[in-house]
Amino acid sequence: MSNVGIVIVSHSANVASGTAEMVRQMVGDEVPLAYCGGDPDGGLGTSVEAIMQAIDAAWSDSGIAILVDLGGAETNSEMAIEMQPSERRGKIVICNAPIVEGAVMAATEASGGAPLEDVKRTAEELSPA
Amino acid sequence: MADPTSDSTAMAIDEATRRRVIAAVAQAMFDHVEELTALDQAIGDGDHGLNMKRGFEAVMADIDTHAAKPLPEALSGIGMALVMKVGGASGPLYGTLLMTLGKQLPAEPTRAELVSAFGAAIEAVKARGKSDFGQKTMLDVLGPVHAALRDGGDLDTTADKAADATVPLKAIRGRASFLGDRSIGHMDPGARSSALMIHAITNVLETPA
C-alpha cells in the first residue's frame, strides 16, 4: 500500500509552492504530493477545479490529507471532496492545522507509512485544542 | 400566466424567462463589482466583486446551454459553474444554494414547493459555511427573504432591509471574523450580493417580456 498523499491548498501560488518545497526537503519522493494556489485567473484565492486536479495528482489508495490556509481554501476543498467519486470521498481529510507546519508534519508522518488518521492527528497536534 | 400568489398553482418559467433571469442576475453582479469590492475591502479580502464577476462571466459564456435546460437542471448547471469559477468561498456557497434548489425543485414548481426547496437550500448553505443566521453572512438576507416568500411579504424590501440589518452585526464566520468588533458598522458583501440577486430575479419575473 502506498503512503498517504499530501495536498497543499493556499490562496497564494507562492505559499503553496514554497510549502511543497519544504515538504519535499523533508520527505523527498516518498510521499505523493501536489499543491495549488490562486483563483481561476491566477489572483489570490482558491479554485475547486485546481484542488480536484491536485487530489488526482497526489492520489494514493491510503488516502489524502489536505492542508489549507484561510477559510475559502477550506470551503473549496470540502466542495472538491464532495465532487469526488464515492469510493474516494471517505479517504480524503482536511487537517485543522497551520498550512506550512501541518504539511511538513503530515508528510513526515506519512513517509513512515502511517495511516490517514495518524497523519491527520499528527498535523493537528500543532493546533491549539 | 400562473398566479404567483397561489400556493398550489405551478409556475411555468419558460426558456426565454430563464434566459432573462440569468442575464439580469449576471448584469447585477457586473454593475456592482466596485460596490461589492468596496464592501469586502472594509471587512474581508476585497475580492467578492471580482469573484462574482468571474463566476457570472462563466455562466454567461454558457447562457444558451443553461437557459435551454429545464429549471432544475439549469439551476444545477449554473451552481456548478459558480463552484468552479468564483475562486472564493462564495463560489461553493452560492453554488450549493443553486444546486440544492436544482435538486429539490420540480420543473414547474408551485409556490409551496419553491418555499420548501428554498428552505432546504438555505440549510445546505448553513452546512457548507458552518454558519447560521445572525453571523453577518448571506444567510441573513436569504433567511428573511425565505420567510417573506412563505408569508407573502415583499421580497425586494425584505432583502434590502435584511442586508442593511447586517451592518451592526459582528462577523463570526469568514475572513471578516478576524476583525472581531471592527467588522461592526459595515454591510456584509455576501448579504449585499444576495439582495442584488433577489432584485434582479423579482424584476424579471414581475415584468412582462
- Answer yes or no: are the C-beta atoms of A3 and A62 closer than 8 Å: yes
Closest residue to B128, CB basis, from A47, A70, A75: A75
Where in the sequence is the domain holding A14, given as residue range(s)? 5-124
On the question of pLDDT at B52 being above 60, the answer is yes
Cβ atoms B136, B183 nearer than 8 A: yes
Q: How many whole angstroms separate alpha carbon B101 and alpha carbon B122?
A: 9
Query: Would you state the pLDDT for residue A15?
Result: 97
pLDDT reading at B2 higher than 90: no
**Mean pLDDT to the nearest integer, A19-33:** 96
CB B53 within 8 A of CB B17: no
pLDDT higher than threshold 80 for residue B167: yes
Q: With 50 as the cut, is the pLDDT of residue B1 above it?
A: no
Asked if residue A120 belongs to a domain, the reply is yes
Q: Which of A48, A81, A94 to mutate to test the interface with B (most CBs of B within 10 A)?
A: A48
pLDDT band per the 50, 70, 90 thresholds, residue B4: low
**How much is the average pLDDT of B81-100?**
95
Partner-chain residue, chosen from B87, B95, B128, that has the shortest CB–CB distance to A46: B87
The mean pLDDT of A71-99, rounded to a whole number, is 95
- Residue A107 included in any domain: yes
- Say what the pLDDT of residue B77 is: 98
What confidence tens digit (pLDDT) does each residue in B24-51 have? Answer: 999 999 999 999 999 999 998 889 999 9
In the predicted model, what is the mean pLDDT of residues B131-135?
96
A22 is catalytic: no
CB contact under 8 A, B83 and A39: no
User: What's the confidence (pLDDT) of residue B57?
Assistant: 98
- The whole-number pLDDT of residue A55 equals 98
The number of folded domains in chain A is 1
pLDDT in tens, B109-120: 999 999 999 999
DSSP track, B22-77: HHHHHHHHHHTHHHHHHHHHHHS-S-HHHHHHHHHHHHHHTHHHHHHS-HHHHHHH
In three-state secondary structure terms, B114 is: helix
Min Cα distance A47 → chain B (Å) is 5
> In this structure, how many other beta carbons lie within 10 angstroms of the beta carbon of residue B78?
30
More reliable by pLDDT, B71 or B11: B71
- What rounded mean pLDDT belongs to chain B? 94
Of the residues B33, B37, B41, B45, the best mutation for testing chain A's interface (the one with the most A CB atoms within 10 Å of its CB) is B45
Locus of grid cell 454558457? B62
CB-CB under 8 Å, A75 with B51: no
Asked if B95's CB is within 8 angstroms of A71's CB, the reply is no
The answer to whether residue A103 is domain-embedded is yes
pLDDT given at position A119: 97
Q: Is the pLDDT of residue B3 over 90?
A: no
Asked if A45 and B47 come within 8 Å (Cβ–Cβ), the reply is: yes
Structural domain contains residue A97: yes
**Residue whose C-alpha cell is 484561510:** A70
Residues of B in contact with A41 (CB under 8 A): 54, 87
**Contact list, B138 vs chain A (CB under 8 Å):** none
Q: Output the domain CATH number for residue A83.
A: 3.40.50.510
CB contact under 8 A, A46 and B88: yes
What are A48-83's pLDDT values in tens digits? 999 999 999 999 999 999 999 988 999 999 999 999
A28 in a structural domain: yes
Q: What radius of gyration, in Å, describes the C-alpha atoms of chain A?
A: 13
Task: Kindly list the structural domains of chain B, giving each domain's residue range(s) and its CATH number in brackets, ordered by start.
Answer: 15-206 (1.25.40.340)
Whether A129 is in a domain gets the answer: no
Has residue A53 been placed in a domain?
yes
